[in-house]
Amino acid sequence: MARKSVAKTNRIKKQAREGTIPALQGIKVLDMTWVGPGPFCTTLLGDLGAEVIKIHEPHPERRGGLITQVFPNSPDFPGFRNCKTIGLNLKTGEGRNIFYELCKTADVVVDGSRPGVMKRLGIDYATIKKINPAIVYASLTGYGQDGPYRNLVGHDINYESIGGLLGITGIAGGEPVIPGVPIADFAGGGLSATIAILAALMARERTGKGQFIDVSITDTIVGLMSIWINPYLSWGIACQRGETWLSGQWPWYNVYETKDRKYISIGAIEAGFYANLCQLLGREDFIEHQYAEGGKREEIFRYFKQTFLTKTRDEWVKILRQKDTCVSPVYTIEELVSDPQLLARGMIQEMPHPVLGSVKQVGFMLKLLSSPSQIRNWSTQFGQHTEEILLELGHDVTSIATLRQKEVIG
């Protein structure tokens, strides 16, 4: 046994030197979420090397609605990467016991239910930490575990609304504009939960104890809005929709239509970048008026708008990239997937797939040089790994068949 242990240790050290061990290898995550911030969080953890087990009810496809979009009834849908799935009826004693077994060797639980749901099922943090004191238990909710809104239902658009993001997004005098991606769910809840989980795992290295993580998606949006909320709290300056330097106040930080009815974005904040922009647009006289207001600002706006209409988007990108001007094309999804920079960075890549052979997907957004992310497995259907997981827990084929017949598992 000693020789085997030494050999295993040496093999791991060799893999580490070669950069073949994912950063979170050995971390087991029980994922109780299915839509929104939870799956975004656990996908990141899985890409970083964690073993992610998605737990769902035995027959979620019977519910229809949004849940069926998780695994559309299509042979061309790739499913979830770097995770396994198990169907488990947590309303039964046998189902809960299986969950408890999983928790004994788990490191993280991620839950996306409303406050109180996990307690009613008997799988809340207070219960699980008695089984595994080292567990890190992250709960993602719209408004948090306390406060007058704790039991309200909601979705991304609601958290962006109450957090002020929706109210400040759009053109001056216009209606609020809904962002094209779920910023509250992904950039707010999902990323924040990931950071908090990693921090809790680090803290556990020092203390040996796990902890509960209370992620309020609304809180995260308010945190993202601090750039505008803090000036109001400090000086009483309340920014309005379309009237900040980030939302269309100035000609040099804006979006313009081009001759081919496409769009170009300009972000020439620094004085040097703005000067380059004015030179390339043939109006060096505008350089000293970067922060001009009133009529002069409107004159610059008019000139920019009229000038950008004289050439195509890609022509302008080529011209303005002759110098540093902070310019980019406004892409459609069809265009961005072929962008040379994104391809070079592996953000759009072919990935091996057990059913489709290979599939193009968005790549790994977190790039660790010595612990690169990689595809280890896919889940393409509900309960795909139920039997495999139960066998690892010590259940035999006969008991698994009985559990399936009783609809404890799926």
CATH number of the domain encompassing residue 292? 3.30.1540.10
pLDDT at 277: 98
Pair (113, 147) in one structural domain = yes
223 and 203 in contact (C-beta within 8 Å)? no
Contacts of 351 (CB under 8 A, 6+ apart): 81, 358, 359, 360, 361, 375
Q: How confident is the model at residue 60 (pLDDT cuts 50, 70, 90)?
A: confident
Pair (362, 329) in one structural domain = no
158 belongs to a structural domain: yes
Pair (211, 322) in one structural domain = no
For residues 212 and 139, what is the distance between their CA atoms, to the nearest angstrom? 8
214 belongs to a structural domain: yes
Pair (315, 173) in one structural domain = no
pLDDT at 72: 65
For residues 365 and 359, what is the distance between their CA atoms, to the nearest angstrom? 17
**Residues spanned by the domain of 320:** 253-336
Asked about 185 being catalytic, the answer comes back as yes
Q: How far lies 147's CA from each of 99, 140, 319, 390, in Å? A: 30, 15, 54, 39
5 belongs to a structural domain: no
Pair (211, 64) in one structural domain = yes
Pair (40, 176) in one structural domain = yes
318 belongs to a structural domain: yes
What is the model's pTM? Answer: 0.91
Tell me the pLDDT tens digit for each residue of 80-139: 899 999 999 999 999 999 999 999 999 999 999 999 999 999 999 999 999 999 999 999
pLDDT at 177: 94
* Catalytic option among 76, 185, 214, 260: 185
Pairing of strands 327-329, 263-267: antiparallel
Mean pLDDT throughout 30-39?
Answer: 93
Q: Helix 386-393 vs helix 93-104: angle between axes, to the nearest 10 degrees? A: 70
Q: CATH number, domain at 52? A: 3.40.50.10540
Instruction: Compute the residue count for the chain.
Output: 410
Pair (94, 132) in one structural domain = yes
Percent of the chain with pLDDT over 90: 85
126 belongs to a structural domain: yes
Pair (322, 376) in one structural domain = no
Pair (72, 209) in one structural domain = yes
Residue with the bigger pLDDT between 113 and 68: it is: 113
Here the tokens at position 300 are 């610059």
Q: Helix 226-235 vs helix 217-224: angle between axes, to the nearest 10 degrees? A: 70
Tell me the pLDDT tens digit for each residue of 316-361: 999 999 999 999 999 999 999 999 999 999 999 999 999 999 999 9
Pair (25, 154) in one structural domain = yes
Out of 62-71, 170-179, 314-323, least confident range: 62-71
- What total of structural domains would you count in the chain? 2
